[in-house]
Amino acid sequence: MAKVVLTPQAENFPAWYQDVVARAELADNGPARGTMVIRPWGYAIWELMQADMDRRIKATGAQNVAFPLFIPMSFLEKEKQHVEGFSPELAVVTHGGGEELTEPLVVRPTSETVINHYFAKWVQSHRDLPLMINLWNNVVRWELRPRVFLRTTEFLWQEGHTAHATYEDAVEETRRMLEVYRRFMEETLAISVAVGEKSPGERFAGADHTFTCEALMRDGKALQMGTSHNLGHNFARAFDIQYLDAGGERRHAATTSWGTSTRMIGGTIMVHGDDHGLRLPPTIAPHQVVIMQLDSEGEAARRVEAELRAAGVRTHLDDRTHTSFGRRSVDWEIKGVPVRIELGARELAAGEATLVRRDDRSKSKVPLDGAARAAIALLDEIQQALFTRSRAFREENTHPVTDFDDFTQRLGDGGLFLAAWSGTEESEQALRERTSATIRCIVDADPPAPTCLITGMPAEHTVLIGRAY
Amino acid sequence: MAKVVLTPQAENFPAWYQDVVARAELADNGPARGTMVIRPWGYAIWELMQADMDRRIKATGAQNVAFPLFIPMSFLEKEKQHVEGFSPELAVVTHGGGEELTEPLVVRPTSETVINHYFAKWVQSHRDLPLMINLWNNVVRWELRPRVFLRTTEFLWQEGHTAHATYEDAVEETRRMLEVYRRFMEETLAISVAVGEKSPGERFAGADHTFTCEALMRDGKALQMGTSHNLGHNFARAFDIQYLDAGGERRHAATTSWGTSTRMIGGTIMVHGDDHGLRLPPTIAPHQVVIMQLDSEGEAARRVEAELRAAGVRTHLDDRTHTSFGRRSVDWEIKGVPVRIELGARELAAGEATLVRRDDRSKSKVPLDGAARAAIALLDEIQQALFTRSRAFREENTHPVTDFDDFTQRLGDGGLFLAAWSGTEESEQALRERTSATIRCIVDADPPAPTCLITGMPAEHTVLIGRAY
């Protein structure tokens, strides 16, 4: 078999990541700093993620819409914390149609401001609530240290926005969407995540509460995979979203927003990938099964292909019999195709096919007639095995810590650290100054000590701490 | 029945259009000049158009990808005609991350330049050809006289880009996609279109040949619904897309591009709409059937709903029994829902249901048990009837003309004018200066006269002339 030309993970994880992105033909860097070109294999993965997430979002009652790319600067300035948080990341259009604009336009970094402006028009009565919309679009946040899929100046995402009659309804919506995201990560991406609230220092600019799904990459760093924000009355006040309640009184609505992005592709690569390349969960694999036809007679291959397609399996017949078997196998391994069915002259003569699993690279011989059925059964097994492995990895690499020096010494080995926390701004600041780690989220667990890991003050919360992308 | 508050088409067609867009809750104007907010009903129509078009595009072998929103100005300048054509329409980002950029970034008006730059990287050998990609994204062209869906500064679209070994292959691809578009317009949008080549004055900036689908709106103006461009070797030379042919010689590839946009929503409104609102072809209706439950007992309504859903019909049960029947009927009429099933106490007592067609507003009574089946049959009839009507309207309003004065006098009545044309730039220029009309396309038909309608010179082509959006 041809040599795999990926840098081993253990040698240099960032180099491995770049190799996989390039060799699996997922993406290229764009010409403008921090932008990316998503190639067919990467985009097909994104389309499958989108379709699945879109179904889940619509099932909550939200409807898709489109809002403009350009937002007048004055809109952003209406919510003080929001504009402070996003100002350093903005791209600004100053010229249009050959003339300088009287008011500069911001390329949306997120759409709360423009959407809440329209919510104020659309919401008049309690009968108009809840108002739940979702957008699939592109946003721009200027990125000084870009990395494809993980931190890019432009990325693709969905952003949901809702308005509710009461604060409690907004609390419930924020939690409902966090749960939609958690289930998507686990059921579709086969990625085990920790869920919890963000600390004030990591909160969305303008939110009362931000909740997050945090996954653990194979290099021991965390990745924020999706967030759900309770904006309370902050945007409703800034944009004057008021409604008449059933008793005829005017009240401010409460709003939320929630988002997931192409960053999830990066997370999928770094949670499941190994030294042989990507390993895709079958749910989001553009080809779930590749049939490797090994000689020019392809009748059996086409029969297996037809059977798989009839069962709704995304199937690709690789009939490049002029290309070496090794080269073709390596191609599909790097691209992360869950199952390969090899059909060579020897196999066919014996009435057999060889099934190769991508997750554990195991091979098995099956009767040719049962090859399609066996492959379908493997897809379920692989989906489950990837998730189980991801969960075990996260659990094994979550370490309770009670002593700050012990924690800082172990931080270099990666993983998530479960710690008691005082909840103060000072302690969060101290953590950032003294280590390269941040509080990833507040979790629902007993604190491992009565006092804060960082300050020694009385503990208020249990948190997960780690280095993050 | 409640009063319909749309301006009649005959009174003021542009006002009627604005009324329909607002009352059917299709879209709002955005805060930045020329931008739009596409609301749930409008966006659901777009999603159905997208899904159908996407299937057709993928069936040709093209794969979806994403390219960056921002293009360095220097990229645009590489193809001289292209930058000249698009310069007046560009939005330019001059500041990013709080600093002035060293090279301004253009917000893509279309992506030929950046894509052909990558084609040059990806195309090395004749085995890499044809290379066929498609993008669903947003583009920006500064618009001085914006109109929702028809001319907007930002719009949503698909842009396809292909590279081929030979000029002939590019010719073939350009024509293939024109045919894909024509069939989509006719089969999915139920809109009859004229297809043909654009005259040089209307050609895409940088193309050798541009082909178009032209539809005729109910006010007698034409709308360009989709275009397919043969870029020949122009971009391949500008961006140095070269490949080694089978004989080992380096050759320039030939490229094409083709696109359709949210403008098609505007076309659908103006081709099918009447004084009562939108009339949606069932293929792109978010609700194909609305069941109007008229009293609080909804058992029969839910049974019909279940039967329709089981048959794959997009069905909505309107159980707002507290709202007046008239108000609800008008809502669904304006929104263009193809079929309504009315279930009142009187109907149910008689074991009947009333079916209402949106296209001709006819009503019929059917046995309750057969209501779902009857509605499904109506959907097919309506799709066909809308197309037949659109074709008849276009044919009836296409007038052969042989005398320029006669033509200019009739131009105010609208329609398309079939004329002989010399093919010269001067005559195209003269037409533009002396009338408000343009050549919509060169068609494959005998010229109605031996000499050019405009100049009297010998005729080279038969063209359709008209006023256009």
Q: Is the pLDDT of residue B4 over 60?
A: no
Task: Identify the pLDDT of residue A4.
Answer: 54
Task: Identify the pLDDT of residue B297.
Answer: 80
Q: Is the pLDDT of residue B296 over 90?
A: no
> Residue B2: which pLDDT band, with cuts at 50, 70 and 90?
very low
Q: For the segment B159-176, what is each residue's pLDDT rounded down to a tens digit?
A: 999 999 999 999 999 999
Q: What residues in A contact B69, CB-CB < 8 Å?
A: 35, 69, 107, 138, 140, 154
User: Once rounded to an integer, what is the mean pLDDT over residues A356-378?
Assistant: 97
What is the chain B residue with the closest CA to A75?
B31
Nearest CA distance, B17 vs chain A (angstrom): 20
Average pLDDT taken over every residue of chain A: 96
Q: For the segment A4-32, what is each residue's pLDDT rounded down to a tens digit?
A: 589 999 999 999 999 999 999 999 999 99
Q: For the segment A128-156, what is each residue's pLDDT rounded down to a tens digit?
A: 999 999 999 999 999 989 999 999 999 99
Average pLDDT taken over every residue of chain B: 96
Q: Is the pLDDT of residue B1 over 60?
A: no
Q: For the segment B206-235, what is each residue's pLDDT rounded down to a tens digit?
A: 999 999 999 999 999 999 999 999 999 999
Closest CA to B231 of B213, B257, B201: B257
**Could you give the C-alpha distances from A174 to A213, A255, B23, in angstroms and in order?**
13, 9, 32
The percentage of residues in chain A with a pLDDT greater than 90, rounded to a whole number, is 95
Nearest CA distance, B193 vs chain A (angstrom): 28
Q: For the segment B102-149, what is each residue's pLDDT rounded down to a tens digit?
A: 999 999 999 999 999 999 999 999 999 999 999 999 999 999 899 999
Q: Distance (Å, rounded) from C-alpha A81 to C-alpha A97? A: 32
**Could you give the C-alpha distances from B304 to A428, B166, B349, B367, in angstroms and in order?**
59, 56, 16, 12
Task: Identify the pLDDT of residue A3.
Answer: 52
Task: Identify the pLDDT of residue B3.
Answer: 52
Nearest CA distance, B28 vs chain A (angstrom): 9
Burial pattern A239-261, b for ≥16 Cβ within 10 A else e, equals bebbbeeeeeeebbbbbbbbbbb
> Residue B295: which pLDDT band, with cuts at 50, 70 and 90?
confident
Task: Identify the pLDDT of residue A161.
Answer: 98
Domains and CATH numbers, chain A: 13-272 (3.30.930.10), 283-387 (3.40.50.800), 398-466 (3.30.110.30)
User: Once rounded to an integer, what is the mean pLDDT over residues B423-447?
Assistant: 96
Burial pattern B289-307, b for ≥16 Cβ within 10 A else e, equals bbbbbbeeebebbebbbeb
Task: Identify the pLDDT of residue A231.
Answer: 98
What is the CB-side half-sphere exposure of residue A220 using CA atoms within 13 A?
Answer: 15
Q: Distance (Å, rounded) from C-alpha B364 to C-alpha A231? A: 51
Strand-pair partners of B292? B318, B342
Is A144 close to B97, i.e. CB distance below 8 A?
A: yes
Q: For the segment A158-186, what is each residue's pLDDT rounded down to a tens digit?
A: 999 999 999 999 999 999 999 999 999 99
* Residue to test with chain B: of A37, A50, A99, A118, most B Cβ within 10 A: A37
User: Once rounded to an integer, what is the mean pLDDT over residues A121-127?
Assistant: 97
The percentage of residues in chain B with a pLDDT greater than 70, rounded to a whole number, is 99
Is A69 close to B140, i.e. CB distance below 8 A?
A: yes
Q: For the segment B358-395, what is each residue's pLDDT rounded down to a tens digit?
A: 999 999 999 999 999 999 999 999 999 999 999 999 99
Is B88 close to A107, i.e. CB distance below 8 A?
A: no
β pairing state of B289-293 and B315-318: parallel
Task: Identify the pLDDT of residue A145.
Answer: 92
Q: Is the pLDDT of residue B354 over 70?
A: yes
Please list the alpha-helical segments (H only) found in A210-298: 234-239, 263-272
> Residue A345: which pLDDT band, with cuts at 50, 70 and 90?
confident
Name the residue with tokens 């049962």.
A370
Name the residue with tokens 């500008």.
B238
Is A138 close to B137, i.e. CB distance below 8 A?
A: yes
> Residue A2: which pLDDT band, with cuts at 50, 70 and 90?
very low
Task: Identify the pLDDT of residue A139.
Answer: 98
Q: What residues in B contact A67, CB-CB < 8 Å?
A: 30, 37
Nearest CA distance, A84 vs chain B (angstrom): 12
Q: For the segment B305-320, what is each residue's pLDDT rounded down to a tens digit?
A: 999 999 999 999 999 9
Q: What residues in A contact B287, CB-CB < 8 Å?
A: none
Taking the CA atoms of chain A, what radius of gyration do you get in angstroms? 25
Answer yes or no: are the C-beta atoms of B437 and B395 closer than 8 Å.
Answer: no
Question: Which two three-digit tokens encode residue B189?
Answer: 């949008």
User: Once rounded to an integer, what is the mean pLDDT over residues B84-102?
Assistant: 94
Q: Distance (Å, rounded) from C-alpha A392 to C-alpha A398? A: 10
Nearest CA distance, B234 vs chain A (angstrom): 21
Is B65 close to A39, i.e. CB distance below 8 A?
A: yes
Q: Distance (Å, rounded) from C-alpha A20 to C-alpha A336? A: 10
